[in-house]
A and B are shown apart, each in its own frame.
Chain A
Amino acid sequence: MTLLLRGGRVIDPSRDLDQTSNLLVVDGKIEAIGLDVEVPLGGEVFDAAGLVVAPGLVDVHTHLREPGAESAETVATGAAAAAAGGFTGICAMPNTDPVTDNQAAVGFIVKQAAAAGGARVYPIGAVSLGQRGDHLAEFGEMVGAGAVALSDDGHPVVSAHLMRTALEYAQTFGIPVADHCEEPTLASGGVMHEGVVSTRLGLKGIPAAAEEIMVARDIILAQLTGGHVHLCHMSTRGSVDLIRRAKEQGVNVSAEACPHHFTLTHDACDGYDTNAKMNPPLREAADVEAIREGLRDGTIDAIATDHAPHDYRAKQREFDDAPFGIIGLETALGLGISELVEPGLLTLPLLIARMSSVPAKLFHLPGGTLARGAPADVVVFDPAGVWTVDAASFRSKSRNTPFAGRALRGRVVRTLVGGRTVFEAPVT
């Protein structure tokens, strides 16, 4: 099978490449890049003029709801939503029901992903059995079955001792421990950011300090152990400051931020919009600014979606009782271009780095590069194309997004996984 993507702007941050060129895919691998590269007889030619050709996006933080809540998302629908959003690899968090905390459970995700035929799905194993926070899960067994990282996401690893042990033990396998930073006694019962909006709405707040205390703890533990701690969905200015200082000191810490945290503030909760309820919560304008700056200067390494599907009914309730989280796979690229590239904060190659090559490298995943011989995980998108978010047209099973109706720039045209087309935009 041969495919030539002709005349696109080829951007590969892993090799500092940004030029108009042709890209040739042969037998599922990147074969060549160059203006003089032509397609052998019988191959398909795709006219990519005016489009960007880049390594497929990689999301290190996705919630698929299989097993346990297949009405909200399955591995297959999640992988399809990812492909439609330009992602070629996603990491599935283990907070399913039952929890992905053993070899068999990891194997199940791998098997479902293989059958799905969308983006590649990499399981993340639980840090503790049942994510209960008291007993380490079998890291070695899970890595053997395909786990790429460890996390109790959904919950923090409350015990400092357990976190320390996890960071030490994970070093054997060379994989990161991803922590959901939330000090539980401060966050307890909170449903949104603690600030003037929570005061007005009479909703219980989660102070920024609840996140920052755990960020500080994890940094100190990473320093103690030398292990790789990956900090999930950073949302506050204080967290960005802590990470920046830690990196200056050479601590083995990496961090991600979500599109909603660089786009929205707690004002979105006004009117008790349950689609603005997420954890960590939407914060204040100064926090959004700090997250953006962190993404620019590299304090925040990667953009992750924290894609959290919930079925229709779940969000149709009082704010206090609605579940946390929004879906994000199909809006992430558009938000990155509209909110970070358009205003001139990030160059397009830097955005692609934060969404592709950097996260791939952090989690040691294939992809994130257009190097010759690499699997042809490629996204082709129109950086200028404007589209309006219509939740009803999502590939995801769920519709819980606060971005419905928003006009975004940056439209995915085609997604290849291993050279195979897993998404192609309907002709408009």
Chain B
Amino acid sequence: MMPPPLGKDLLGLEHLTAEQIVHLLDTAEPFKEVSERAIKKVPTLRGKTIVNLFFESSTRTRISFEFAEKRLSADTVNVTTTVSSVQKGENLVDTARNLEAMRIDMVVIRHPSSGAAQFLAERINSNVINAGDGTHEHPTQALLDLLTIRDKLGRIDGVKVCICGDILHSRVARSNIWGLTKLGAEVAVCGPRSLLPRGIEDLGVTVFRRIEQAMEWADVLNVLRLQLERMDAGFIPSLREYNRVFGVTEGRMAAAAPELLVLHPGPMNRGVEIDSPVADGPQSVILHQVTNGVAVRMAVLYLLAGGRPELAEQAKAGGTE
């Protein structure tokens, strides 16, 4: 049986059920195979127009979405704008109206303000996919992380995952916390208390103060990128000290269990939150995450693109093949 449909948009994992998330992951499986074909393209979304609306530069996420769209035969347009905070609000309303007027089918949006994807979704009829909104959610990143963990460990239920680093400013962390806890994983966070948000424990996660404890406990580490500007904003004294106290270093890795998996959403600050030998080492699944990213995004596009329930009812009544 199919779980309740996702609805018009994918804005985050907070409001999805475990069944819906599992269905997304299951749907991603056959799309992995499409990307292995000589002709990496299926006609599923032929004639659909998708706009990748990026108000924040993000080469990786945009390319991953673009591959997913093109492999499903959709027509894509990239709009990359950086906006000053003064213009931001007006721009988004106007942009929404303009897009609507051009009869596009789907919008993939990346925006520096939390809630921007929902804001857009409430104002247009097209499907909206959140590719990261402020420090709120980044659902497709969390889905590809989940898929990677499932690929490597065969399950998510009962797996111990520690998300490490700047949780306060991380949409990846929030989406991961929702996805992992819904699927039964044990979730912890580890980082300087100045980079952990208030009330994080209320989301059902454990807090480790020391990275050594976290690494001893966890089956999986999801190491977040430390934005370099956090130092200037006074959250941490220096990158050097951050690496010493919280870095997933070669030395700490050597002391950890050999099965410990290391994920990183990229782009990495090598030598800050993660050392190069760890990032490139046998326990790193970072490139597997990137591969899964395309499959997950194809699954999301496919599931959202599907059509109109009233016609589906008619089709069933009339009997199709």
Contacts and interface: CB of A to CB of B under 8 A. Distances in A.
A and B touch in the complex (CB under 8 A): yes
Interface of A: 194-196, 198-205, 207, 271-272, 313, 316-322
B135 A321 contact: no
A196, A199, A205, A320 — most chain B CB neighbours (10 Å): A199
Interface in B140-161: none
B183 interface: no
Task: Please provide the 6 A-B residue pairs with the shortest distance between their CB atoms, ordered closest to farther.
Answer: A317-B89, A202-B136, A196-B199, A272-B115, A202-B135, A318-B113
Given A202-B134, A320-B134, A272 B119 contact: yes
Contacts of A318: 88-89, 92, 111, 113-116, 119
A313 to B, nearest CB: 8
A316 B123 CA distance: 10
Contacts of A198: 197-198
A320 to B, nearest CB: 4
Contact of A202 (B88, B92, B174, B199): B174
A271 B90 CA distance: 19
Contacts of A271: 118
B36 interface: no
Interface in B253-280: none
B202 A196 contact: yes
Interface in B62-120: 85, 88-90, 92-93, 111, 113-116, 118-119
Contact of A319 (B90, B113, B198): B113
Interface size, B (range): 20 to 34
A199, A202, A205, A271 — most chain B CB neighbours (10 Å): A202
A253 B231 CA distance: 40
Contacts of B137: 202
A305 B90 CA distance: 28
A203 B89 CA distance: 16
B114 A319 contact: yes
A196 B202 CA distance: 7
B93 A316 contact: yes
A199, A200, A271, A318 — most chain B CB neighbours (10 Å): A318
Contact of B89 (A194, A204, A321): A321
B114 A320 contact: yes
A200 B198 contact: no
A198 B200 CA distance: 10
A317 B93 contact: yes
Contacts of A317: 88-90, 92-93, 119
Interface of B: 14, 85, 88-90, 92-93, 111, 113-116, 118-119, 133-137, 171, 174, 197-200, 202-203
A313 B93 CA distance: 10
A103 B253 CA distance: 70
Given A317-B88, A318-B89, A321-B89, A201 B197 contact: no
Contacts of B136: 201-203
B95 to A, nearest CB: 12
B115 A201 contact: yes
B14 A200 contact: yes
Contact of B174 (A200, A320, A322): A200
A7 B113 CA distance: 57
B171 A202 contact: yes
Contacts of A203: 114-115, 134-136
B120 to A, nearest CB: 9
Contacts of A200: 14, 174, 203
Contact of A196 (B89, B113, B114, B198): B198
A26 to B, nearest CB: 54
A203 B119 CA distance: 14
B113 A199 contact: no
A305 to B, nearest CB: 26
Nearest to B198: A194
Nearest to A189: B233
Contacts of A322: 89
Contacts of A321: 85, 88-89, 113
A183 B114 CA distance: 24
Given A199-B198, A204-B135, A319-B114, 11 more contacts: A196-B198, A196-B199, A199-B197, A200-B174, A200-B203, A201-B114, A272-B119, A317-B92, A318-B113, A320-B113, A321-B85
Contacts of B174: 200, 202
A192 to B, nearest CB: 10
A194 B90 CA distance: 26
A196, A200, A203, A313 — most chain B CB neighbours (10 Å): A200
Given A317-B93, A318-B113, A322-B89, A272 B118 contact: yes
A320 B55 CA distance: 15
A171 to B, nearest CB: 39
Contacts of B116: 318
B115 A319 contact: yes
Contacts of B90: 313, 317
A313 B89 CA distance: 9
A127 to B, nearest CB: 27
Contacts of B202: 196, 199
B200 A199 contact: yes
Contacts of A201: 114-115, 136
Contacts of B171: 202
B165 to A, nearest CB: 15
Contacts of A199: 197-200, 202-203
B83 to A, nearest CB: 10
